[in-house]
Amino acid sequence: MSLYEVGDPIPVFIEIESWRPKPEIERKRGPDHRLEAFEAHYQRKPRAGRRAGERVLVARLEWKRGGPLVVETNSTERDLEIREKLSLLPPSDIHLLRTEGRSMFDLLSQPVSEDQLALAKEEEEELSRRSEVAAKLAEILRNYSQRWCDEVVPALGNRRPRTLVKTESGRAKVLALLEDFERTAGPPGTQRNGLRPHPPGTGPPTGRLTRRHHPSPRAQWR
């Protein structure tokens, strides 16, 4: 996060508004029609590895009268990209005060509003409807399930499922564990949209998995 002292907000606002692709900007004016605040989300085409037409969020810029311009990015590269754009303005209009780094713990500790939760839910549901996302998720989980068969599992006495199923009693333990995966609802609040975690220490990592996309290894042992 970088902080800039703003001398005259109008040239700064006009400069940000002129960027291409054009940022999404919300502004607030006072009773005298003076610019009191604005918030901009600057997105651009990805430089590599993304689908055509896709956009990446480079930075969020926020200014309120009496305060600094706050520029939030998720990488040093993007912070420098915005700094280069703002350097086109004269120092009398804007100049860099300092750059602050925040740990992931600090970011995750910030309270989440109901609007942010609703937006995250909408984005999750929109992603889940994309066939390419579903196919990739299925591939990742299928590959993990195959690797799980050869991993040491604490719930199986620190044995590998593929080794354990060579005996009748071991096979029964593996099947019982896999059936427990399918029955487990998980802690409260994790069952939304059919998503649930696996019990910790039992194999597949703790985290939300979509039931319809999770290729259980159980079929391999029947």
CB 141 within 8 A of CB 209: yes
d(C-alpha 192, C-alpha 196), whole Å: 8
Query: Minimum mean pLDDT among 8-22, 82-96, 187-201: which range?
Result: 187-201
Q: What is the pLDDT of residues 101-160, one digit of tens each?
A: 765 566 667 788 888 888 888 888 888 888 888 888 888 888 887 888 888 888 888 899
Region of residue 203 (left: phi > 0; alpha: psi -120 to 50; beta: else):
left
What would the two tokens of residue 138 be? 């299925």
Is the model's pTM score more than 0.85? no
Q: Which residues pair with 96 in a beta bridge?
A: 4
If you count them, how many residues does the chain have? 222
